[in-house]
Structure 1
Amino acid sequence: MFPILGFMLSTLSLHILTASASDPDPLQDFCIPNTEFSSTRTTRFNIVTCKNPKEVSPEDFVFSGIKSPGNFSDTGFSAISVNPVVFPGLNTLGMSLVRADLKAGGINAPHFHPRATEIAYVVQGKVYSGFVDSKNRVFAKIIEQGEVMVFPRGLVHFQMKVGKSPATILGSFNSQNPGTHKIPNIIFGSGVNDELLEKAFGLSLEQISVMRRKLIFPKKQSKF
């Protein structure tokens, strides 16, 4: 009795750990969202209505939106996210990707993805890339064309262009909706109480206001 119970508990624990590691497994080959429910699928991926498989075509599994860089921010960074909202063929497949481009001196500010591990592949250029673990250790180095780096799920990571030529990175996630939390936005752009920020970071109210204005009206950074 007890060995069987122990086996059942171990199996259940393993199933729970596996199930929480990534998106749920699909129940069919694919699920192209029905466009009639487009307003729903932007926020509730798990309950969309699938298009009739007989109406699905090869075009549903092809996306051409990352042939060129997107719009650059004032930090010299551009990102085009590819998820089921823009590429319905990814729906229920447990993955998504992003094309990221950095100009000379450009940065991808520290951020993390709460629901996914990321693998970043350098298509061109050189990038200082890394992450910080839960013991506050930094794992970072310069990676170049043809190399990849993995950022474990939920850990803060960052990138900075090295050299004068631009860089292009292709990031892949093991979730169709990884989520992105940028550290500066979380701290200074979310409405956290000023007094708390003042005590936590040793900043004056004026400095906090400056940081918030930079998030709303960012200024162009100087060239390296």
Structure 2
Amino acid sequence: MNLPILFTFSLLVSISCADTVFDFCVGDLSLPSGPSGYACKDPAKVTVDDFVHSGLGVAGNTTNMFKFGASVAFSPQFPGLNGMGISMVRADLGVGGAVPIHTHRVAELLILVEGTVIAGFINTNNTAYYKTLHKGDIMIFPPQLLHFQVNVGSTPVVTYASFASDNPGVQSVDAVFTNDLPSKVVEKVTLLDHAQVKKLKKVFGGSN
């Protein structure tokens, strides 16, 4: 196929698909989201501000038991991401702080911009992959695997992470203590005693 014919074919394909292609689908946050994200905002009401998010310039609150805070740019906070398949988060760790072991539905690419951390993940064969990271280092966490960060330096840590989803979700292992799952069940599945379970439920806001 010579170049003119290839160009003509490409042009025809583009024209034939024009009525099914959208430049963007800014999320309408006034409506509930579903498995495919939010419904599209009326294009006539879209502005440049829908494509700009300033939240990552704000440090996360580290005054908690983990000395960890996060500022997220997912589609519920940044509607311009809706349907784009990308998002970001900023994590701040105080000295001695840690990002608790957690998972996301998709892969995470971490870059360390300030401080020193030990970061890693655990695969489904229970092998731990971890390393001390320094400023400028990046690390990939595969989808759905447990992963973490620990500040092992003498200064606060700042990291940024990108995700292969506009709303990657997050679930921490402490989730077992944040709900109304009966304590006796939690004791069975964690091998913790009753007093420990009750203490952790109180710490994380669980009941029952």
Shorter-chain TM range is 0.7 to 0.9
Q: Judging changes above 3 Å, is the alpha-carbon distance between structure 1 residues 140 and 32 closer, same or farther for their aligned structure 2 residues?
A: same
How many residue pairs match? The answer is 186
Deviations 1:82-115 (A, max 9, x none): 01222111111011111100000001100001x2
| 8 Å CA contact 1:45, 1:91 repeated in 2 | no
Q: Of residues 51, 56, 76 in structure 2, which corresponds to 1:66? A: 56
| 8 Å CA contact 1:104, 1:166 repeated in 2 | yes
1:175 match:
165
1:96-175 equivalences under 5 Å are 96-113=87-104, 115-175=105-165
Q: Of residues 190, 193, 202 in structure 1, which corresponds to 2:191? A: 202
1:222 match:
none
C-alpha separation between the residues in 2 aligned to 1:129 and 1:192?
30
Matching residue's letter, 1:32: V
Gaps of 5+ in 1: 1-25, 218-224
Does 2:178 match 1:184?
no
The percentage of counterpart residues that share the same residue type is 33
C-alpha separation between the residues in 2 aligned to 1:190 and 1:145?
37
| 8 Å CA contact 2:58, 2:71 repeated in 1 | no
Matching residue's letter, 1:204: D
| 8 Å CA contact 1:125, 1:145 repeated in 2 | yes
Does 2:27 match 1:40?
no
| 8 Å CA contact 1:134, 1:155 repeated in 2 | yes
C-alpha separation between the residues in 2 aligned to 1:209 and 1:55?
50
| 8 Å CA contact 1:78, 1:100 repeated in 2 | yes
1:94 match:
85
1:5 match:
none
1:82 match:
73
Matching residue's letter, 1:87: F
1:15-30 equivalences under 5 Å are 27-30=21-24
The alpha-carbon deviation at position 68 of structure 1 amounts to 2.2
Q: Judging changes above 3 Å, is the alpha-carbon distance between structure 1 residues 177 and 193 closer, same or farther for their aligned structure 2 residues?
A: same
Q: TM-score, normalised by structure 2?
A: 0.81
Q: Which runs of 4+ in 1 moved over 4 A?
A: 41-45
Deviations 1:54-102 (A, max 9, x none): 5544332211111120222331101011012221111110111111000
C-alpha separation between the residues in 1 aligned to 2:48 and 2:190?
53
User: SS at 1:40's partner residue?
Assistant: coil
Gaps of 5+ in 2: 1-19
| 8 Å CA contact 2:55, 2:72 repeated in 1 | no
Q: Judging changes above 3 Å, is the alpha-carbon distance between structure 1 residues 200 and 29 closer, same or farther for their aligned structure 2 residues?
A: same
1:21 match:
none
Q: Judging changes above 3 Å, is the alpha-carbon distance between structure 1 residues 200 and 55 closer, same or farther for their aligned structure 2 residues?
A: closer
Matching residue's letter, 2:165: S
CA-atom RMSD, angstroms? 2.1
